[in-house]
Structure 1
C-alpha cells in the first residue's frame, strides 16, 4: 500500500461532525511500515486530535519512533499544511530533510521538507544546559 492510498482511505474514517473537514495522514518508517491517522473532532474543540497526531500515536504504539516520509490529504482547493502543533510533532520524529507531501482529494499535491514546514524548530538542543 502507498502512503497516498493509506491517507486517502483513513480520511474516510475521520470524525468531523462539526467542521465537516476530514483529514487523513500516513507516515512511513525507515523499516517500511505505514501508520495512518485521521482527525477526530470533539464538541469541546480543543479536545480533538489531528490526523498527523493519530498517525504518530499509531507508530509509537507499534514501537517505532522515526518517520521517513509523511503524506497528508484533505478535501480543499489547495494542499493543506499541518497545523503548527503537528509541525512540531513531525519534527520530534523526523529529520529536517524528511519529505512531507500535502495533497487534495482532487489530485493536487506539494512536497516540502519538515524543515520547510518548521524552520527553527524547538529541539532537545535548546534544553541542553551549559
Structure 2
C-alpha cells in the first residue's frame, strides 16, 4: 500500500468510536493537496452519531478548505462501505459530481472506484442556488 489517502483512511478507521455496532469506518479526503481524516463516532442515543465522511469534511472546513478533490472510505468486511445518503449530499456541497470516490477494505485493497455522480444522480448542489 503506497497511496497516502488510503493509508490515512485506514489510520482514521483505527480511531473510530463504535462500541455499539463495532463497525469502524474511516475516511480521508484531499483538498488542495492537504489530507483531512475522519472516523465514525457513535453515541448511545443512536441518531446522534457522526459518519467518518462528515468528520473529514468538518476537519477540512476547519482547516479552511472548501473543495474536495478526492476521497477514500474504508469500512469493515469485503462489501464496499459507500457513503450514506446524508454524506453523499455533504460531499456534493463541497465537490463536483465527478468527484473520485474509492472504497477499500480494511487491508487497503480497492473494492469500488466510482464518482459522486454515480452515487448521487441528479443531485442538487450549491450551483443550483447561484
Give TM class, smaller chain.
over 0.9
Partner Cα separation in structure 2 for residue 26 and residue 127 of structure 1? 28
Q: Show the counterpart of 1:91.
A: 92
Q: Show the counterpart of 1:70.
A: 71
Counterpart of 2:16 in 1: which secondary structure?
coil
Tell me the matched-pair count. 127
Gaps of 5+ in 2: none
Partner Cα separation in structure 2 for residue 108 and residue 26 of structure 1? 14
1:27-66 deviation digits (Å, cap 9, x = unpaired): 001x210000000000001100000000000000001110
With the length of structure 1 as denominator, give the TM-score of the two structures: 0.92
Offset of 1:125 from its aligned partner? 4.8
CA-based RMSD = 1.4
Q: Show the counterpart of 1:17.
A: 19
Q: Show the counterpart of 1:53.
A: 54
Post-superposition, which runs of at least 4 consecutive aligned residues in structure 1 deviate over 3 A?
124-128
With the length of structure 2 as denominator, give the TM-score of the two structures: 0.92
Instruction: Assess if the C-alpha contact under 8 Å between 1:78 and 1:108 holds in 2.
Output: no
